[in-house]
DNA sequence: ACCTGAACACCGTTCAAGT
DNA sequence: ACCTGAACACCGTTCAAGT
């Protein structure tokens, strides 16, 4: 590694000094490129041009690193939501924002699942809950309804993340789904009538549309609560 | 290790021979006791009194092992559903059966999440889909609705599994939730009104009841679909 | 206070060698 | 055909030693 003579010490604060924020930014970069398996303390240290152990001075362990990376993606996303019009539309925007983020960051889904009562999920509860109030959901029901929406969103994000990770060895989503559809189609229609019926739709469905359809189902439920 | 003189070779088939089923059964035993982190090819080999590499003759890798363990739990569960009365009640029974299974097997949730289009999820689709037909959900909507229910169930199971795994170092669920509730309660009520409002309910809510409330919300949505 | 990097205690997986 | 267990290529984490 080339190390230039340090003639630029104009400020006391070295621009390349390690910090929690720089570590998290590098972690996200690696996660996005290589996935969760690619994020290694060694790889991270190499990227930051430091030793593996140095990272532990700023971050307790890998779990905290992943939790912070999740917060770093979710916090600005929920802070920069477009100004509100209709509460239903706002809920759709929140959900779709997260869904699209899970695509840009193919590790986010499994983290949101594991975050249950942590910062990022708390922010999600707050964002959703305020809209529920606007929708007129009665106070006693709000926690359950918000938890249902969070559970649904987390589940779908988790499935998306799993889908992106699982496609075995450079197989496209299309060929992978086609294989699954063929298997479903090959099942006995007497024993598995529904799966058989659905196989063709599986082949070329849009995950994003399906995600939104499920969300709308829940919004319909909210509109007709007892 | 004590090895008795083999005077019992009455049959050609050794009762202690390795087989895929015995491996999976042992894997489930270890998973239930030690969690996903405890399932190791070395621990599994020790439990089966064999070498670590022997397992690879019957199972391709750890992913397949986990997928088979998931199938082994879910298949009998969905096969032995009580005879149907009301389609709504049947859907509740399916969902609750899975939720309770995720409690008995504190690793099942994350696996169901990762199984997307595999056997165990296909069986779940079939079980749910047949009830949707009974409920009169129109054909074009069935795939989306089933996918929404599967996504919700998978998400909640995944959260449950994460909750059970995360409680740090022998902390009970109660104290863990109390800590989270205290943190939420300590937030600025101006900035986080909803989370603040909800904090007390978080402390002593019942996950199972909340799971069922969310399911009922979706069933209400189904009943009022356009 | 902050960083280095070797060392420790593990992993999943492979594979020559055995029966 | 099936099993053994050492070996390989990794991990996360710790910690004495440096600056």
- Residue A85's pLDDT is what? 83
C1’ C18 / CA B68, Å:
30
Q: Which of A116, A152, A201 sits opposite B143 (nearest CB)?
A: A201
- Residue B10's pLDDT is what? 29
CA angle in degrees (0–180, nearest 5) for A66-B201-A138: 110
- Contact: B142, A214; criterion CB under 8 Å: no
- Residue B172's pLDDT is what? 85
Q: What is the mean pLDDT of chain B?
A: 91
* Contact by Cβ (8 Å): B145, B132: yes
d(CA A176, CA B117): 10
* Contact by Cβ (8 Å): A101, A73: yes
B173-191 confidence digits (pLDDT tens): 889 899 999 999 999 999 9
Looking at beta carbons, which pairs linking A177-184 to residues 24 or more positions away fall under 8 Å? A177/A202, A177/A203, A177/A204, A177/B117, A178/A203, A180/B117, A184/B122
Please, what is the angle between helix A207-223 and helix A87-104, to 10°? 150
Q: Residue B170 CB: number of other CB atoms within 10 A?
A: 5
State if pTM tops 0.95: no
Q: Which of A110, A195, A214 sits opposite B151 (nearest CB)?
A: A214
Number of H helices, E strands in chain B: 11, 0
d(CA B101, CA A119): 28
- Contact: A152, B184; criterion CB under 8 Å: no
Q: Which of B156, B197, B219 sits opposite A151 (nearest CB)?
A: B156
Query: Which residues of chain A, if any, have pLDDT below 50?
Result: 1-15
Question: Is residue B122 predicted with pLDDT exceeding 60?
Answer: yes
H or E, element range at A43: helix A41-47
Give the burial class of A217: count Cβ atoms within 10 A of its Cβ; 0-12 exposed, 13-18 middle, 19 or more buried: buried
Q: Which of A111-120, B9-18, B60-69, B195-204 has the lowest mean pLDDT?
A: B9-18
- Residue B16's pLDDT is what? 66
Whole-number Cα distances in Å, B166 to A150, B108, B158: 18, 15, 12
% of chain B residues with pLDDT over 90:
83
Candidates B217, B225, B226: best to mutate against A (most CBs of A within 10 A) is B217
Q: Is the CB of A41 under 7 A from strand D?
A: yes
- Residue A191's pLDDT is what? 95
Q: Is the CB of A57 under 7 A from strand C?
A: yes
Q: What are phi and psi of A43, to 5 degrees?
A: -65, -40
Q: Higher-confidence residue: B78 or B171? A: B78
Residues of chain A in contact with residue B223, where contact means CB-CB under 8 angstroms, are 224
Residue B26, both tokens:
């042992």
Cα A118 to chain centroid, rounded: 14
- Contact: B143, A177; criterion CB under 8 Å: no
Q: Which nucleotide is nearest to B41 (CA to C1')?
A: C12
User: What number is the average pLDDT over the span B106-116?
Assistant: 95
% of chain B residues with pLDDT over 70:
91
Q: Is the CB of A18 under 7 A from strand D?
A: no
- Which distant-in-sequence residues (6+ apart) come within 8 Å of B8 by Cβ? none
Residues of chain B in contact with residue A177, where contact means CB-CB under 8 angstroms, are 117
- Residue A11's pLDDT is what? 30
- Residue A169's pLDDT is what? 64
A92-107 confidence digits (pLDDT tens): 999 999 999 999 999 9
**If you count them, how many residues does chain B have?**
226
Distance from CA of B99 to the nearest CA of A (A): 13
Please, what is the angle between helix B62-79 and helix B87-104, to 10°? 140
- Residue B3's pLDDT is what? 31
B9-18 confidence digits (pLDDT tens): 323 333 468 9
What's A143-187 look like in SS3? HHHHHHHHHHHHHHHHHHHHHHHHCCCCCCHHHHHHHHHHHHHCC
C1’ D4 / CA B52, Å:
8
Residue A131, both tokens:
């809209």
User: What number is the average pLDDT over the span B196-215?
Assistant: 96
């Amino acid at each position: 590694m080339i190390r230039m003579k340090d003639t630029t010490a104009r400020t006391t604060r070295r621009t390349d000094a390690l910090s929690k924020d720089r570590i998290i930014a590098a972690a996200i970069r690696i996660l996005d490129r290589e996935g969760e398996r690619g994020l290694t303390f060694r790889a991270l240290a190499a990227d930051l041009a430091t030793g593996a152990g140095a990272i532990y001075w700023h971050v307790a362990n890998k779990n905290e690193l992943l939790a912070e990376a999740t917060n770093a993606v979710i916090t600005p996303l929920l802070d920069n939501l477009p100004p509100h019009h209709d509460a239903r539309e706002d809920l759709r925007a929140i959900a779709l924002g997260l869904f699209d983020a899970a695509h840009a960051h193919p590790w986010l889904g499994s983290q949101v699942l594991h975050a249950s009562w942590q910062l990022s999920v708390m922010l999600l509860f707050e964002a959703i809950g305020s809209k529920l109030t606007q929708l007129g959901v009665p106070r006693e029901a709000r926690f359950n309804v918000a938890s249902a929406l969070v559970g649904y969103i987390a589940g779908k994000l988790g499935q998306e993340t799993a889908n992106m990770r699982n496609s075995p060895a450079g197989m496209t989503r299309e060929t992978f789904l086609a294989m699954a559809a063929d298997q479903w189609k090959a099942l006995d229609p007497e024993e598995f009538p529904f799966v058989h019926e659905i196989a063709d739709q599986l082949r070329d469905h849009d995950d994003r549309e399906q995600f939104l359809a499920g969300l709308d189902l829940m919004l319909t439920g909210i509109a007709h609560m007892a």
